[in-house]
Structure 1
């Protein structure tokens, strides 16, 4: 099996930022709902995933270029790099 080397955005993480609250910051402002949550590892904002109607985590990446999010779902321990389209468990 060939293993892909993880990108520098993922290997440079020393701590994984946990969500301040289990809500999508943007959905709360508009009264929208979400499916799953992701926490930005640059600014700490928590946003909804691409399965959610508003896809705020991906919109946040496109707006800010913050490359890495972590799952904010209880029991899930993974991070995703938007730039390199790589996932890693922690």
Structure 2
């Protein structure tokens, strides 16, 4: 795994999820494929395989660079700025 400059800036402990699923998908009547958790604010969004790509949209709107998988048994993280798993 590659380290990135955004990791030291993340809150510790990681933020609590703001929802159990993608609220934007729920509002749109869509179903997320996989969920992602913003490690800066706790926003839960759907992955890029989902129709609306809300996790990426959250990054584009806020600049919050690092998210992790919010799927059971997964803990990998992705940095949108550095474009790699961290």
TM-score, normalised by the number of residues in structure 1? 0.81
The whole-number CA distance in structure 1 between the counterparts of 2:18 and 2:32 is 16
Equivalent residues in 2 for 1:10-89, closer than 5 Å: 10-13=7-10, 14-17=12-15, 19-88=17-86
TM-score, normalised by the number of residues in structure 2? 0.84
When the two structures are aligned, how many residues end up with a matched partner?
A: 85
Q: Where do 5+ consecutive residues of structure 1 fail to align?
A: none
Larger-Rg structure: 1
Deviates more, 1:7-16 or 1:66-75: 7-16
Q: Where do 5+ consecutive residues of structure 2 fail to align?
A: none
